[in-house]
Structure 1
Amino acid sequence: MSVAGGRAAERDGRGRRIILWRHGQTSWNTARRFQGTTDVPLTETGLAQARRAARLLAGLRPDAIIASDLERAARTAAELAEFTSLEVVTETGLRETYAGSWQGLTHDEIMARHGEEYAAWKRGEPVRRGGGELETEVADRAAPVVLRHLEKIPEDGTLVVVSHGGTIRTTIGRLLGLDPRSWESLGGLSNCCWSVLGQGARGWRLLEHNAGTLPEPVLGDDD
């Protein structure tokens, strides 16, 4: 089922929906360089990705848009605002995971310098990458922001959250009630792709994951 299909856009009284949309491509994504909270802008390709995706997402008739205040996310959100005339509310709580000394390093450099730490993180163990945040701490700050803004939209409304790969994954894991050790199994989001959560009688359900216009490689899924 495509998120851009008619059913996802209909107001059918089945509860609120959250669209968690990853920012467009940056030069650090293509270099597989860990960004974390470093404020790296979109490339021209990333901007084009945002415009293309925004046209589709506008068809889902969002009621509100919130975004990380980092430029790559805020600029991506601005494209959807152009199509919907909605105001983008930026939130520091939606920033990517702070990764300390890992930020600015490529994945190969991290594996070479911090191999055990990197392997432990990939196994789902709680790791302060580069002395930074735990994934559970990211969920602790991001998920409440999403829930707070959800309270402001209609009961069958749609909230668009423009954020980062790692933050989106931890937020999805938290809202679905998954054990943090299994969050890695959700997989990464490609640039400018999105996931959709729907509110059901027994809580949140994952309706779509890594949806977009065309299949795209996942570049720097946690930055």
Structure 2
Amino acid sequence: MSATTSGSSAPSGKTGRKIVLWRHGQTAWNLERRFQGSTDIELTETGLAQARRASRLLAGLRPDAIVSSDLRRASATAAELASVTGLAVAHDEGLRETYAGEWQGLTHDEILAKHGEQYTAWKRGEPVRRGGGELETEVADRAAPVVLRHADRLPEGGTLVVVSHGGTIRTTIGRLLGLEPYYWEGLGGLSNCCWSVLGEGVRGWRLMEHNAGTLPEPVLGDDD
């Protein structure tokens, strides 16, 4: 589908801009496979080390701006890149992870035991308010406009780093690519402190890298 699908961004006429969507570092709840959602969990020492390593790499992209979720695991990750680049970080609650009500704080096994039917329906691609919380489309409704607003301020060829959360990043990518929500799950997850890169061409945004931990390489081939 093209990026002009309803709910996605129409081509702006600019090209060459990039959006790096960077997931936060490791937390204790990640290790325990607990659903974090909008719960404000701190990074572990390993998570901080991940953020420092990734920041040294991402600084090589010479970003023009950084915007982050205001939850501590994301803002602490963003702060590491800010310390390397000297850029200020804009914080926006619109980039928070999906609010999932009763699921928040539960382990994966506990979710299956207590909300198994709901979990199965969600995995089938049905619109589900997990734990009574947000729909994935509602997450995209609040997050994608934040990303686009900051991207619109970039110079020609500029780069924006967005520091957020796995679910929010996936739904935002799906929205910006113009994919129907059913197919967003096909993008797969992001590892802690890995990122995805969107590049803007004449027809809108396209996915250049996904779940990467190294800098993007130029595409040298017939598909570019």
Q: Shared topology, TM-score over 0.5?
A: yes
User: Alpha-carbon deviations, 1:77-133, whole Å to 9, x = none?
Assistant: 000001100000000000000000000000110011110100111111100000000
> Secondary structure of the residue that 1:18 maps to in structure 2?
strand
Aligned residue number for residue 219 of structure 2:
none
> Secondary structure of the residue that 1:41 maps to in structure 2?
coil
**Pairing of 1:20-35 with structure 2 (within 5 A):** 20-35=21-36
Query: Sequence identity of aligned pairs in percent?
Result: 80
User: d(CA) in 2 for partners of 1:96 and 1:35?
Assistant: 8
Aligned residue number for residue 79 of structure 2:
78
* Residue 186 (structure 2) pairs with residue 185 (structure 1): yes
* Residue 176 (structure 2) pairs with residue 175 (structure 1): yes
Alpha-carbon distance, 1:203 to partner: 0.9
* Residue 131 (structure 2) pairs with residue 130 (structure 1): yes
Aligned residue number for residue 218 of structure 2:
none
**Pairing of 1:143-222 with structure 2 (within 5 A):** 143-213=144-214
Aligned residue number for residue 55 of structure 1:
56
Stretch deviating more after TM superposition (14-23 or 30-39):
14-23
Residue type of the partner of 1:35? Answer: Q
Structure 1 stretches of at least 4 aligned residues deviating more than 3 Å after TM superposition: none
Aligned residue number for residue 4 of structure 1:
none
User: d(CA) in 1 for partners of 2:126 and 2:112?
Assistant: 16
TM-score of the pair, normalised by structure 2: 0.89
User: d(CA) in 2 for partners of 1:15 and 1:124?
Assistant: 33
Alpha-carbon distance, 1:15 to partner: 1.8
> Secondary structure of the residue that 1:59 maps to in structure 2?
helix
**Pairing of 1:29-48 with structure 2 (within 5 A):** 29-48=30-49
> Secondary structure of the residue that 2:198 maps to in structure 1?
strand
User: d(CA) in 1 for partners of 2:210 and 2:35?
Assistant: 22
User: d(CA) in 2 for partners of 1:57 and 1:103?
Assistant: 31
Pairwise CA RMSD: 1.2
Alpha-carbon distance, 1:14 to partner: 4.3
User: d(CA) in 2 for partners of 1:116 and 1:53?
Assistant: 38
Gaps (5+ residues) in structure 2?
1-13, 215-224
Residue type of the partner of 1:167? Answer: T
User: d(CA) in 1 for partners of 2:20 and 2:57?
Assistant: 12
Gaps (5+ residues) in structure 1?
1-12, 214-223
TM-score of the pair, normalised by structure 1: 0.89
Aligned residue number for residue 8 of structure 2:
none
